[in-house]
Every structure is written in C-alpha cells, then in structure tokens.
C-alpha cells in the first residue's frame, strides 16, 4: 500500500508540475479557445431560442477579432475579393462609370470615365439607370447595381437609361471592357515651366506611367516638378520604391521593413535615376498614407524634395495578403516600415484620430528626433511633417452644404442641358448672369443651412432654458441669433468666389471629364500656387533643404 501511495503521489506531483507549464503554452491556449468557440456555436445551434445565422455570427466574430489588432488587418470574403483586387491592380471588368443612389430610388451616373464603354456609348453624368439587362434597379442598393454592371471583359449588357439632356428613355447596349484607371489622371506644364503631376494611387505598374509622364513633361518644357500626393492612400510598396528611384541615385536605401518573422528587409533603388537634379516639391495632406508616406518621407530624408502641405495620415504598417480556403483572403499587418533616417511614421495611437482618420495630437514626450542626410531635423510619432506646413483649406459651411445637397452637381447638369459647348477649361468663366441663375436655382430648391455658430448658440439656449437662465438673457440671445443666423442669399454673394470656383470645375467636368476639372482646379489651388512659388524662387527652394547652421566657437 505504501508503494502504491508513493506512485500516486509521484503521478500527482508530476501533474501538478507539468500542467501549469503546458497550460501556459501559446499552442495550448489557442487550441483551448478554438474548442470553446466551436462548443459555444454548437450550443447556440442546438438550444438558442431562435434560428442562428452562422455565417453572420462567424463573420462578425472574425471582424471583431481582427479589429482588436489594428485597422488594417482585415478579412476579405469571397464576395469582396474582386473589389479588393481593384485596389492593387486598378483593373476590373465593367463599363467604366461611377454611380450613386439618389433620393433612395434612382441610380444616377456620377462620372463616366473618359474613353471607356459608358463614355463611348454616350452615357453622361446625370443620366439615370432604370434597368440592367431587363431588371429594374430602383429597389436595389448601389452595391448590387454596381455588381451587375461588372463582369467578364467582352460580355454584353443592356441598360435602360433616362437621358439627362433629352429626357428620353432609351436602351443602351454596350460591351464590358477591362477598366484600368490611370494612376496619373492629370499632368501639365504650368506657368514658369513648373511641371505638375497629380498621382492618385500606387497600383501595379504605376511606376511606368509616372516615368512616362515625367519624361513627357520635360519634353514639354518642365524645369521643375510638383508631385501631388494629396489624398493618395497608398498601395504597392515596390512601386513606391521605384518612383523614388526616378529622382535619387542607384543603391540608395528608400525604406527598411521590419517584422516579427525573418530579418529586416532593406529596399534600395536598383536602377539609374531619371533626373537627380530637377527641383521637386511633394504635396501631402492628412489623407496621404502608406506608400505616399514612403515616397514623401524618403525624398524628405534624402533632402531631395521640399514637402509642403499638412501632416500625412500616419500609416507606417506593411500588409501582406494571405490566401484562405474558399477563395477568401486575409490582409494581415506583417511589418513596420522605416524611412532612410530611421523614423517610423506609424501613428502611435490608433484610437485618438482626427475625424478623417488621420493621426491626432501627439504628446511631445512620445515624439523622437531624427536627422536627414544633410542634418535637418525630422520627427516620428505619426505621419510625415511637411517642411512647410500649410493650413488645411477650410471651405465655407455654405459650400459644404451645397455640395451635400447635390445643388452644385444638379446646377451643372442643368447648365449642360442648356449649353451644347463651352470654351476650353483654361478660358471658361461662369458669367454673372449664370451665377444669378444659380442663386435662383438654390432658392427654388428651398435650401437652408445652419452654421457651426448658430448650432452652438441653439445648444446653449436649450441649456439655459433647462437651467432657468434663459428669461434673463432672452433679448440679448435673440439679437445674437439674428446676427449669426445664415441669410442664404447674402451668403451666396458673400462666398461667391469660392462657390464659382467649384461651379466652374463641376461644369467643365461635364465637357472635358476629370482632366478638365483638374485643369481648372489647379488654377486656384492655394497649395499648388505655393508649391509653384517655391519652385520659381530657387534661393527659397534651396533654403528648405539646407542643413542647420551651427555656431562657430
């Protein structure tokens, strides 16, 4: 009995010693939690009072799990794979048009892409899609209609359209094509030989497009360049490295990628550059992210360009796409990237961001200094900080509300119906009598709006009434309310310049597509004008890139 007792005690001791070690292993905890998860699903399936939607529950669980990591690690179900592929390739099969739902009923064409099937078939912005291949679309949501318009290249479809200009209902038969939107929607040589490139996305082979554009601008007389990365949310890292290579020598480190698995990877320029001397300004804003930040950050760290605008988004994470069963995918954050100076532009805090998602205020204690190759000071902590910071262009509130109510779009549609042609974008100007027509158009629509000031006053009045102070201040508050309550007609005249700029761009777009809109917009864009000013003053340009002056002893 004593021997048996010793054996039992020994087994018990072994279990007591090994179980905690085993229980603490990551693989055991993972297996345990998966087992618990499936057990819960099984119990819900058997005993829950209502029928359980397994697909929805599991998808929600996956999304919540990934959301706890970072905003960029995401599950891509099979139904969304084609849309995801478009973000990296810029390609899809379809008709080449942007649509939206209006008034919860009609599907409206917002933009036909120049040169693609919709445009070639005579479809215009403001036309309404009534049916796709005989199926009425009024009751469908915009994503379902968009899916029905997409399909294999060279397949036919028929659209029943309500035409904006004639008000006729017509059948339009067209053939789907491979739609690949340009990475450079617009480029031009501005006054003073300043080349301008608006670069929208880092898709596959965009480097070749950018290289060709730079070469053509130089042929056309460009002696300096504005590289506009505003609102470019990024894309392929390899393409970003090659674009930096256009302006810096071969063998230069552009970005260093460090992950948990494997050694750090240094991405260096591999080819002879196109031009290492042409003066360069890079424009960024709070929506310039990922690969845009690699380009802006590298060119800044290498003292190759002056960066102008607002602090960029703050996405210094690298994602890889992993295949999953059943043609689904996982986009997973696998590394952080570091610019040549050694800084990571990743926002330290995912949660405290600005309304547009960009990095918010960072405490000074969390920001570290780095130096460019010439010894200039740059910082980490979130985004690329411009060499010259410009305030974000704040649109008057009336302009935002006119846009939200589609009144700019709708007036441009009416103008297009009434005018067969207009002058070229650089010469087109909205006449005063046309602007007066716009004022009448807005009034007829019953447009009203509330400024931030009047909203704040109404909130305060409600609070004063609750706290019984209102009666003592009633006369003063009413007088103040009268002064700050918007007068639509007066405000349409007060902000005429801003409104006319957008109206002209919207109208020109109807005749000259996106390139026309960009041409007219750059003429009054304050950040483009400042970039041009810097480039045309070579001493000013050089002053941004000079190392700090050190006092002699």
Instruction: Give percent of the chain with pLDDT exceeding 70.
Output: 92
31: left (phi over 0), alpha (psi -120 to 50) or beta: alpha
Collapse the DSSP code of 510 into the 3-class scheme (helix H, G, I; strand E, B; otherwise coil) and give the result. Answer: helix
Spatial separation of the C-alpha atoms in residues 379 and 127, rounded to whole Å: 49
pTM: 0.85
**What SS3 class is residue 180?**
strand
Domains 91-180 and 186-389 share a fold: no
Instruction: Render pLDDT for 113-138 as a digit per residue (tens, 0 to 9).
Output: 999 999 999 999 999 999 999 999 98
Q: What's the CA gap between 125 and 119, in Å, rounded? A: 10
d(CA 516, CA 506): 9
Terminal CA-CA length for the chain: 91
Per-residue pLDDT at 8: 37
Residue 525: CA atoms inside 13 Å, Cβ hemisphere, count?
20
Domain 186-389 has CATH 3.30.930.10: no
Q: Could you tell me the residue ranges of all domains in the chain?
A: 91-180, 186-389, 397-449+486-535
Per-residue pLDDT tens for 273-282?
Answer: 999 999 999 9
The pLDDT of residue 310 is above 70: yes
CA distance linking residue 219 with residue 522, whole number of Å: 21
**172 and 121 Cβ atoms separated by less than 8 Å:** yes
pLDDT at residue 5 above 50? no
Q: How many C-alpha atoms does 395 have within 13 Å on its Cβ side? A: 14
Please give the residue that has the higher pLDDT: either 50 or 26: 50
Residue 323 backbone zone (phi > 0: left; psi -120 to 50: alpha; other: beta): beta
Task: Categorize the per-residue pLDDT at 12 as very low, low, confident or very high, splitting at 50, 70 and 90.
Answer: very low
Q: What is the mean pLDDT of residues 474-496?
A: 87
Cα 497 from Cα 237, distance rounded (Å): 40
**Mean pLDDT over the full length of the chain:** 89
* Helix (H), strand (E) at residue 128: strand 128-132
- Categorize the per-residue pLDDT at 90 as very low, low, confident or very high, splitting at 50, 70 and 90: low
Which residues form the catalytic set? 290, 301, 315
Helix, coil or strand: residue 258: strand
State residue 352's pLDDT score: 63
Give the pLDDT band of residue 308 (cuts 50, 70, 90): very high
From CA 248, how far away is CA 254, in angstroms rounded?
9
Q: What is the rounded distance in angstroms from the CA atom of residue 310 to the CA atom of residue 384?
A: 8
Q: Which residues contact 458 (CB under 8 A, 6 or more apart)?
A: 450
Residue 267, token pair as written in the block: 């991405």
> Which has more pLDDT, 49 or 223?
223
CATH homologous superfamily of 91-180 = PDZ domain (2.30.42.10)
Predicted pLDDT at 7 = 42
């Amino acid at each position: 009995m004593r021997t048996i007792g010793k054996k039992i005690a020994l087994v018990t001791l072994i279990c007591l010693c090994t179980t905690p070690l085993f229980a603490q292993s990551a693989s055991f905890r993972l297996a345990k939690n998966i087992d618990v998860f499936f057990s819960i699903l099984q119990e819900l399936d058997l005993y829950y009072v209502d029928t359980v939607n397994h697909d929805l529950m599991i998808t929600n669980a996956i999304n919540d799990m990934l959301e706890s990591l970072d905003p960029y690690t995401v599950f891509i179900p099979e139904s969304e794979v084609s849309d995801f592929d478009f973000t990296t390739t810029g390609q899809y099969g379809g008709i080449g048009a942007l649509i939206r739902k209006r008034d919860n009923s009609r599907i409206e064409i917002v933009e036909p892409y120049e040169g693609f099937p919709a445009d070639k078939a005579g479809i215009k912005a403001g036309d309404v899609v009534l049916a796709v291949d005989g199926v009425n679309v009024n009751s469908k949501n915009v994503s379902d209609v968009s899916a029905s318009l997409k399909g294999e290249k060279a397949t036919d479809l028929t659209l029943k359209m309500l035409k904006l200009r004639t008000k006729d209902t017509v059948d339009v038969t067209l053939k789907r094509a491979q739609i690949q939107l340009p990475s450079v929607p617009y480029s031009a040589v501005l006054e003073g030989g300043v080349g301008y490139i608006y670069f929208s996305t880092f898709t596959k082979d965009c480097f070749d497009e950018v290289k060709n554009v730079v070469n053509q601008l130089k042929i056309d007389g460009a002696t300096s360049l504005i590289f506009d990365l505003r609102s470019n949310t990024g894309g392929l890292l390899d393409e970003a490295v090659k674009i930096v290579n256009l302006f810096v020598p071969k063998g230069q480190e552009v970005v260093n990628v460090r992950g948990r698995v494997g050694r750090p990877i240094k991405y260096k320029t591999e080819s002879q550059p196109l031009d290492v001397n042409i003066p360069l300004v890079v424009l960024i804003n709070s929506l310039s992210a990922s690969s845009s930040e690699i380009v802006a950050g590298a060119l800044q760290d290498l003292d190759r360009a002056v960066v102008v605008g607002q602090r960029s988004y703050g996405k210094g994470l690298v994602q890889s796409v992993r295949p999953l069963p059943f043609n689904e995918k996982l986009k997973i954050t696998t590394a952080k990237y570091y610019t040549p100076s050694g800084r990571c532009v990743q926002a330290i805090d995912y949660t405290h961001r600005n309304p547009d998602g960009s990095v918010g205020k960072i405490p000074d204690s969390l920001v570290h200094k780095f130096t460019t190759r010439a010894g200039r000071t740059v910082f980490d902590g979130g985004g690329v900080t411009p060499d010259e910071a410009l305030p974000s262009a704040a649109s008057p509130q009336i302009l935002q509300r006119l846009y939200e109510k589609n009144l700019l779009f709708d007036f441009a549609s009416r103008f297009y119906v009434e005018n067969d042609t207009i002058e070229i974008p650089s010469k087109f100007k909205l006449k005063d009598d046309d602007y007066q027509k716009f004022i009448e158009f807005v009034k007829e629509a019953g447009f009203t709006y509330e400024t931030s000031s009047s909203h704040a006053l109404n909130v305060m009045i409600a609070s004063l009434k609750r706290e019984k102070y209102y009666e003592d201040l009633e006369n003063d508050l009413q007088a103040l309310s009268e002064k700050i309550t918007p007068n639509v007609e007066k405000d349409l005249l007060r902000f005429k310049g801003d409104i006319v700029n957008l109206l002209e761009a919207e109208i020109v777009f109807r005749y000259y597509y996106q390139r026309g809109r960009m041409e007219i917009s750059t003429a009054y864009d304050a950040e483009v004008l400042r970039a041009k000013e810097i480039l045309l003053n070579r001493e000013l340009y050089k002053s941004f890139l000079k190392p700090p002056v050190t006092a002699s002893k």
